[in-house]
Structure 1
C-alpha cells in the first residue's frame, strides 16, 4: 500500500511539474486559438443540448420561438462541425509561419461573430450576453498579444453598441429566441428565463475561473522560478553574493549572534591554468556540494566570488564554527578529481572565521573573516584560522 501511495505521489509531482512548466502564456498564438476553438465548440454543444431539451419539452414551448430554435439547432450543429474542421486546419498548419500570422485573426473574428450572434438571440443586453462579453474580453486580453486582440475587441464593441441601439429603436428584435410574452412581462420572475440565463452564465464563469486560475498559478510558478534564478549562482547552484547579504542582514536584524566562515580553494589559478576552466568549474561544483552536505538546515552557504565561498552560521559560537570548518576542510581534502588527461588532483581549501562577537557591523565581520583567511593562506594553506584580535585591541 505504501509503495502504491509513493507511486501516486511521484506521478502527481511529475504531473504538477509538467503543468507548471507548460505555461499557456508561452504557447504560440495558433495553439491559443485551438484552445479558444475547443471552448467555442463546448459552448455550441451547450446550445445544442439546451435546444434539444426545449424540443423534448412541449410544455415550455410557450416561452420560446420554437421555429427559430429548430432552425438554429441545425445552424449550431453545422457550425460545430465547421469549428472542428478549423481546429484540424490550425493543427495541420501549426508549424507554418503564415498560419501563425493569419489564422489567429481569422479565429478571433469567427469567435466574436458567433458570440455576437448568440448574444443577439438571447438578448444583446441580457445578463448572459453582458457577462460573457466581459469575461471573454478579459481572457482574450490575457491570452493574446494586444496587437491581435484590441482591434477585434474594439470592432466587436462597436457592433455590440450598434445592436443595442438597433434593438432600442426596434430596428431588430430583442432576444428573438424567446416568446414575446416572456419579454413583455416581468421576465425576471419567469423561472424559465432565469434558468436559461444561469445555464449560459455558469459554464462561462467556471471556464473563465479555471483559465484564470491556471494562468495565475503558472505566473506564480514562473515568478518564483525567476526569483530563484536571481538568488543562485548558476554554476554551483548555491546562493549568490547579493542574496547571501540579504539573508545575513535578516539574521543581523533578529539580533542573533552568528559566525562567518570564508573559504578559498587553494591554488585554484594553477588548477585552471594546468587543466582548463572546465576542470576548474568541476572543482567549484564539487566544493559547493561538499559544503552543502556539511552545514545545518539553518546555515547559509553561498559562492562569494571566483573560488571563494562563504557560510553564515546563526546562533553559533566560535568553537562550533571551527568544528564545522574543520569537517568541511577534511571533506574537501579527501576529494580527488580526475582531469580529462587522467591526472588526479587533490583539492584543498583554506578557512577564515569571524563571529559577531568581534564586531556588530556585517561588512566588518566579513572583513575580519577575510583577514583570518589571509592568515590561513600565509601559514601554509589547507587549514582553519579564526580571527584573533591584535594584542593592543585586547588591552
Structure 2
C-alpha cells in the first residue's frame, strides 16, 4: 500500500467517531454527563440566589441535589481517569463500557424523574440520547440499557399515577397544581434543559455527517487512484473521456508501454519492476500539462488524455516524455542502474468519433511503434502511421 493510501485510511480510522473504540466513546459520554451536571449546578445556583422563584421549587431538595451534582462530577472525572489509563485493556473496552453507559442512563432517568417523567425536557432528551447511542455503540449495549431505562421509566410512571411517589419533586406543589404551560419559570426551565441537548445533538449529527461525507469522498478518491503509482486508474480515465464526449470536446489520447518490462521483472524481481513503474509515473506527471490526465491503464501501460491541444503539441509532449524516460535510468540500491525506454502511440479523436475509435487509433500506433523498433512516438490518424521527429511539422 502506498503512502497516499495509508494516509487516507489512517485518517478515516482515526477521525471518524464511529471508528473509535468503545472506551473512547465512553469517555465522550462521561464528558457529556459532566456537562449535564454543570447545567444542573448553574440552574440550581440561579434559583438559590433568586428568592422570587423559591415558591415554584422544592428548595431543600435543590440544595441537597446541588451537593449530589458536585460529588457526581468528581466521580465522573475518576471514571474518565480509569478509562484513560486502562483504555487498551479488553475488559475495559467491553465490560466497563456497559457500566459507563448504564451509569449515564441512570443519571438521565434520575434527572428526568426530578423534572417530570412526562416533561418535554425528559422526552426530548430520551429520544435524542437513544438516537445518538444507536449510532455510536453496538446494538447489544444500547438495547441492554434501553430495556433497563424502559423498565425503570415504566415503574416510575406507574408509581406517579398511583400517587405513591411525587411527580417532578424538584418543583413545588404550588407550581404543579396549576397549568404548567402558564408558568414562565417552568417553561423557561424546560427550554433551558432542551436547548443544550438540541445543540449537542445537532452538532454531533452534523459532525458525523461531515465525516461521513468526507470519508465517502476519500473512498471515492481511493477508487479512482492506482494504489502503486498513485496515478488515476482506468475507470477514472474513462469517466473523464465520457465527460469530454458529453461536452463535445475533441481530445488526443497517448498510450505508452514500457519496452521489455518483463525482462526487468525476470532479472531484478517484481519489487524493482514496481519501482520502475513508480518512477515512470512521476516522470509523466511532471512532464505533462496540469490540465492533462495521466493514468495507469494496466500492467506496464500508461495512458494520457490531452484536451484543448493541437496534434503537434501533443506529439511534442509525447516525445518529451519518451526522452525524459530514456534519459533517467532507474537507480538500484547497489548503485546499479537500469536503462528504461517506452514506446508511444498517439490517437486523435473528433467530436463525432467514439471512445473506442480514439483508443483503437492510439493502440494501433503503439503497436506500430513497437514493431518499428520501440522507444519512439507513432501517430495514427485512421489511415496512415507517422513516426514523430522533433523537426517534423504536422
Shorter-chain TM-score above 0.5 = yes
Higher mean Cα deviation, 355-364 or 67-76?
Answer: 355-364
Q: Which SS does the other structure have where 1:340 is aligned?
A: coil
Match of 1:334 in 2: 327
Match of 1:23 in 2: 16
| 8 Å CA contact 1:258, 1:312 repeated in 2 | yes
Give the TM-score of the pair, scaled to structure 1.
Answer: 0.90
Deviation at 1:372, TM superposition (A): 0.3
Deviation at 1:379, TM superposition (A): 1.1
Deviation at 1:219, TM superposition (A): 1.6
Question: How many angstroms apart in 2 are the aligned matches of 1:43 and 1:209?
Answer: 16
Question: How many angstroms apart in 1 are the aligned matches of 2:13 and 2:141?
Answer: 26
Select 1:246's aligned residue among 233, 239, 247: 239
Closer, same or farther: CA 359–57 of 1 in aligned 2, 3 Å? closer
**1:110 matches 2:109:** no
Match of 2:123 in 1: 130
Select 2:88's aligned residue among 95, 104, 112: 95
Deviation at 1:61, TM superposition (A): 0.6
Question: How many angstroms apart in 2 are the aligned matches of 1:157 and 1:292?
Answer: 61
| 8 Å CA contact 2:258, 2:342 repeated in 1 | yes
Deviations 1:362-387 (A, max 9, x none): 12321221110011111111111011
Select 1:236's aligned residue among 229, 252, 272: 229
**1:177 matches 2:178:** no
Question: How many angstroms apart in 2 are the aligned matches of 1:272 and 1:358?
Answer: 40
Match of 1:280 in 2: 273
Question: How many angstroms apart in 1 are the aligned matches of 2:353 and 2:159?
Answer: 77
Give the TM-score of the pair, scaled to structure 2.
Answer: 0.90
CA-atom RMSD in angstroms: 2.0
User: What does 1:210-229 align with in structure 2 at a 5 Å threshold?
Assistant: 210-229=203-222
Match of 1:54 in 2: 47
| 8 Å CA contact 1:358, 1:365 repeated in 2 | no
Match of 1:36 in 2: 29
Match of 2:190 in 1: 197
| 8 Å CA contact 1:20, 1:221 repeated in 2 | no
| 8 Å CA contact 1:275, 1:339 repeated in 2 | no
Deviation at 1:19, TM superposition (A): 9.8
Deviation at 1:226, TM superposition (A): 1.2
Question: How many angstroms apart in 2 are the aligned matches of 1:231 and 1:29?
Answer: 33
Question: How many angstroms apart in 1 are the aligned matches of 2:158 and 2:374?
Answer: 87
Deviations 1:179-207 (A, max 9, x none): 12222222223221122112111111222
Select 2:375's aligned residue among 371, 376, 382: 382
Q: Which SS does the other structure have where 1:260 is aligned?
A: strand
4+ residue segments displaced more than 3 Å = 17-21, 388-391
Closer, same or farther: CA 39–358 of 1 in aligned 2, 3 Å? closer
Unaligned 5+ segments in structure 1 are 1-16
Question: How many angstroms apart in 1 are the aligned matches of 2:351 and 2:86?
Answer: 69
